[in-house]
Structure 1
Amino acid sequence: MRESAAERHDRLLTLVRESGAARVAELAARLGVSPVTARRDVEALASKGLLDRMHGQVSWPERHAAPGGAGARRPGEGLVLGLLAPSATYYFAEVIRGAHEAAAKAGARLILRISDYRPEEDRARAEGLLAAGAEGVLVAPGWRGPEDRSVYGNWLAELPVPAVLLERRADPGSRLDALDRVVSDHGHGVLLALRHLLGLGHGTPLLVARGDSPTALAVRAGYTEALATLGLTAPGPVIDSVPADQDPAGFERAVRALYEAVSSGRVSAALVHNDVDAIEIVQRLADLGVKVPEDLALIAYDDEVAALADTPLTAVAPPKRQVGRHAAELLMERLTEGRGAPESPDEESARRHLSLLPRLRVRSSCGATPEARTS
Structure 2
Amino acid sequence: MRESAAERHDRLLDVVRRHGSARVSELAVHLGVSPVTVRRDVEFLATEGRLDRAHGSVSWPGAGEPVPTAARPPATRHHDRAPATGAAPATGFRSGSGSGSGSRELVIGMLAPNATYYFAEVIRGAHEAAAAAGARLVLRISDYRPQEDAGRAAGLLAAGADGLLIAPGWKEPDDPVEHGAWIAGLPVPTVLLERRGVPGRELDDLDRVCSDHSHGVLIAVRHLLGLGHPTPLLVARSDSPTAIAVRAGYRYALGALGLTSPLPVIDSVSAEADPNGFEGAVRALRGAVADGRATAALVHNDVDAIRIVQRLAELGVRVPDDLALVAYDDEVAALADIPLTAVAPPKHEVGRYAAELLIERLRGAAVDGAGVGVGEGAPRRHVDLLPRLRVRASCGAPPEPLRIP
TM tier, shorter chain? 0.7 to 0.9
Task: Please state if 1:366 is matched with 2:395.
Answer: yes
The 8 Å contact of residues 116 and 142 in structure 1, kept in 2 or not, is answered as yes
Task: Please state if 1:232 is matched with 2:259.
Answer: yes
1:116–1:235 Cα change, 3 Å = same
Q: Which deviates the most, 356-365 or 76-85? A: 76-85
Aligned partner (choices 284, 292, 304) of residue 311 of structure 2: 284
Identify the residue that residue 293 of structure 1 maps to in structure 2. Answer: 320
The 8 Å contact of residues 189 and 358 in structure 1, kept in 2 or not, is answered as yes
CA–CA separation in structure 1 for the residues paired with 2:202 and 2:156: 22
**1:113 alignment partner, SS class:** strand
Amino acid aligned to 2:266: I
The 8 Å contact of residues 77 and 108 in structure 1, kept in 2 or not, is answered as no
- Runs of 5+ unmatched residues, structure 2: 4-10, 20-91, 367-373
User: 1:293: how far off?
Assistant: 0.4
User: 1:308: how far off?
Assistant: 0.4
Aligned partner (choices 369, 373, 384) of residue 355 of structure 1: 384
Identify the residue that residue 172 of structure 1 maps to in structure 2. Answer: 199
Identify the residue that residue 260 of structure 1 maps to in structure 2. Answer: 287
1:97–1:67 Cα change, 3 Å = closer
Q: What's the TM-score once normalised by structure 1's chain length?
A: 0.79
Aligned partner (choices 211, 222, 226) of residue 184 of structure 1: 211
Amino acid aligned to 1:109: R
The structure with the largest helix share of the pair is 1
The 8 Å contact of residues 123 and 155 in structure 1, kept in 2 or not, is answered as yes
Amino acid aligned to 2:377: E
1:253–1:119 Cα change, 3 Å = same
Aligned pair count reads 313
CA–CA separation in structure 2 for the residues paired with 1:65 and 1:247: 49
**1:207 alignment partner, SS class:** strand
Aligned partner (choices 246, 249, 252) of residue 219 of structure 1: 246
The 8 Å contact of residues 64 and 78 in structure 1, kept in 2 or not, is answered as no
**1:165 alignment partner, SS class:** strand
User: 1:347: how far off?
Assistant: 6.5
**1:212 alignment partner, SS class:** coil
1:136–1:191 Cα change, 3 Å = same
Calculate the aligned-residue CA RMSD, in Å: 2.7
User: 1:63: how far off?
Assistant: 10
1:240–1:65 Cα change, 3 Å = closer
Question: Which aligned pairs between 1:76-115 and structure 2 lie closer than 5 A?
Answer: 78-115=105-142
CA–CA separation in structure 2 for the residues paired with 1:64 and 1:314: 43
User: 1:145: how far off?
Assistant: 1.8
Q: What's the TM-score once normalised by structure 2's chain length?
A: 0.73
1:312–1:66 Cα change, 3 Å = closer
How many percent of aligned residue pairs carry the same amino acid? 70
Aligned partner (choices 145, 156, 177) of residue 172 of structure 2: 145
Amino acid aligned to 1:350: P
Task: Please state if 1:160 is matched with 2:187.
Answer: yes
Identify the residue that residue 49 of structure 1 maps to in structure 2. Answer: none
CA–CA separation in structure 2 for the residues paired with 1:337 and 1:217: 35
The 8 Å contact of residues 362 and 373 in structure 1, kept in 2 or not, is answered as no
Amino acid aligned to 1:127: A
**2:129 alignment partner, SS class:** helix
User: 1:150: how far off?
Assistant: 0.7
Provide, for residues 66-113 of structure 1, a one-character-per-residue CA deviation record: whole Å limited to 9, x for no partner.
765xxx26xx96100000000100000000000000000000000000
Provide, for residues 231-266 of structure 1, a one-character-per-residue CA deviation record: whole Å limited to 9, x for no partner.
110010100010101100000000000000001111
User: 1:148: how far off?
Assistant: 1.0
Q: Which deviates the most, 361-370 or 271-280? A: 361-370
1:359–1:67 Cα change, 3 Å = closer
Aligned partner (choices 243, 266, 276) of residue 249 of structure 1: 276
CA–CA separation in structure 2 for the residues paired with 1:160 and 1:338: 19
Amino acid aligned to 1:121: E
The 8 Å contact of residues 217 and 250 in structure 2, kept in 1 or not, is answered as yes
The 8 Å contact of residues 255 and 284 in structure 1, kept in 2 or not, is answered as yes
Amino acid aligned to 1:130: L
The 8 Å contact of residues 97 and 106 in structure 2, kept in 1 or not, is answered as no
The 8 Å contact of residues 85 and 92 in structure 1, kept in 2 or not, is answered as yes
- Runs of 5+ unmatched residues, structure 1: 4-10, 20-59, 340-344
CA–CA separation in structure 1 for the residues paired with 2:220 and 2:391: 10
1:199–1:111 Cα change, 3 Å = same
Provide, for residues 6-34 of structure 1, a one-character-per-residue CA deviation record: whole Å limited to 9, x for no partner.
xxxxx9xx99xx89xxxxxxxxxxxxxxx
The 8 Å contact of residues 200 and 368 in structure 1, kept in 2 or not, is answered as yes
Amino acid aligned to 1:360: L
CA–CA separation in structure 1 for the residues paired with 2:200 and 2:275: 41
Amino acid aligned to 2:154: E
CA–CA separation in structure 2 for the residues paired with 1:226 and 1:322: 24
CA–CA separation in structure 2 for the residues paired with 1:176 and 1:205: 34
**2:174 alignment partner, SS class:** helix
User: 1:369: how far off?
Assistant: 2.2
Task: Please state if 1:335 is matched with 2:362.
Answer: yes
CA–CA separation in structure 2 for the residues paired with 1:115 and 1:67: 32
CA–CA separation in structure 2 for the residues paired with 1:173 and 1:319: 27
CA–CA separation in structure 2 for the residues paired with 1:288 and 1:141: 39
